[in-house]
Amino acid sequence: MEYTQLGRTGLKVSRLCLGTMNFGPETTEADSYAIMDRALDLGINFFDTANVYGWKKGEGVTEQIIGRWWAQGGGRREKVVIATKVYGNMGDWPNESRLSAVHIRRACEDSLRRMKTDYIDLYQMHHVDRNSPWEEIWQAMETLVQQGKVVYVGSSNFAGWHIAQANEAAKARHFLGLVSEQSLYNLKDRMIELEVIPACEYYGVGIIPWSPLAGGMLGGALQKAREGRRASENQQKQIEKYRAQLEQYEAFCAEIGEQPADVALAWLLHNPAVTAPIIGPRTMDQLTGSLRALEIRFTDEQMKRLDDIWPGPGGPAPEAYAW
């Protein structure tokens, strides 16, 4: 396994991050345990979750699974850098969602209880809350850090402007601020190249791409369709919309002798701004198969081919749309 530092911090994390969103709804608890054990065996020390995962309001199903896995001992908790999230709706009453100081405090305590741990390594804001001032948010986060309940703070789904706002407000308070941003980023969805990536590079914020396979489209969607595997109706529409590009992409992957999913992950790892793409395996085979991406190296010509197939916005703003 390869490791890198998370943004501007000294924290070392694996180049692949284990996403746990499927644990509970798609993957049984026993299989989830097996996947997490295997991830540790492979050297993956970076796990991502969220209090809303499991999709039963207020229950934190996935966090509970992780907590019961840690409770088995064997140094499991100590080996894992855990990232969870706050913002989502955890109840029907006011102040059970978003980023008020009240909700941040309660949500953190609940996540700690569910995961049976004393601290969260990376506490991520799942979305920007335009109704909560940064002074309130950072005061709440500072308190959690001072209490030893949170080590680092990150964001998810923030715009470049939000990252700048957040870190300038933190700097004024002599607080570390955001150290990571979890964004939608893959060969098909490259909008963050305009302003999010430049903001992250400026502030030393590590990028953790979610949906690196574009919901499975970059994982050999055409090939799987030919093999008779059914896709959701929405994905079938997406496949038809991007069929011409997918045909070129899968042909390119066959030409270089690599699986489409591995090429998509390797392309993200090629970007020095990226810390670790989130892989969300439902099965053990999906987990172990992802490791091939760490070994793939592209030539400049191959990178250009991928850009031609999946063109981005043209680089950072404003040059991407102006002179």
Catalytic residue among 33, 53, 87, 123: 53
> Who contacts 250 (Cβ-Cβ below 8 Å, separation ≥6)?
220, 222, 223, 260
CB neighbour burial string for 82-92, b if at least 16 within 10 angstroms, e if fewer: bbbbbbbebee
Secondary structure element (H or E) that encloses residue 284, with its range: helix 284-289
Contact 125, 87 (CB under 8 A): yes
Q: How far apart are CA 107 and CA 310, in angstroms?
A: 39
| Helix residue ranges, H only, 61-133 | 61-70, 76-79, 101-115
Provide the residue type at 291 as one letter: L
Q: How many angstroms separate the CA atoms of 117 and 95, rounded?
A: 24
CA dihedral 14, 128, 89, 142 (to 10 degrees): 70
- Among the listed residues 9, 10, 14, 17, the one whose alpha carbon sits nearest the alpha carbon of residue 209: 17
Is residue 53 annotated as a catalytic residue, yes or no? yes
Vertex 78: Cα angle to 96 and 74 (nearest 5) = 115
Instruction: Give one DSSP letter per residue of 138-195, joined into a string.
Output: HHHHHHHHHTTSEEEEEEES--HHHHHHHHHHHHHTT---EEEEEEE-SSS--GGGTT
Pairing of strands 46-48, 120-125: unpaired
* Cis-peptide into 94, omega within 30 deg: no
Which residues are marked as active site? 53
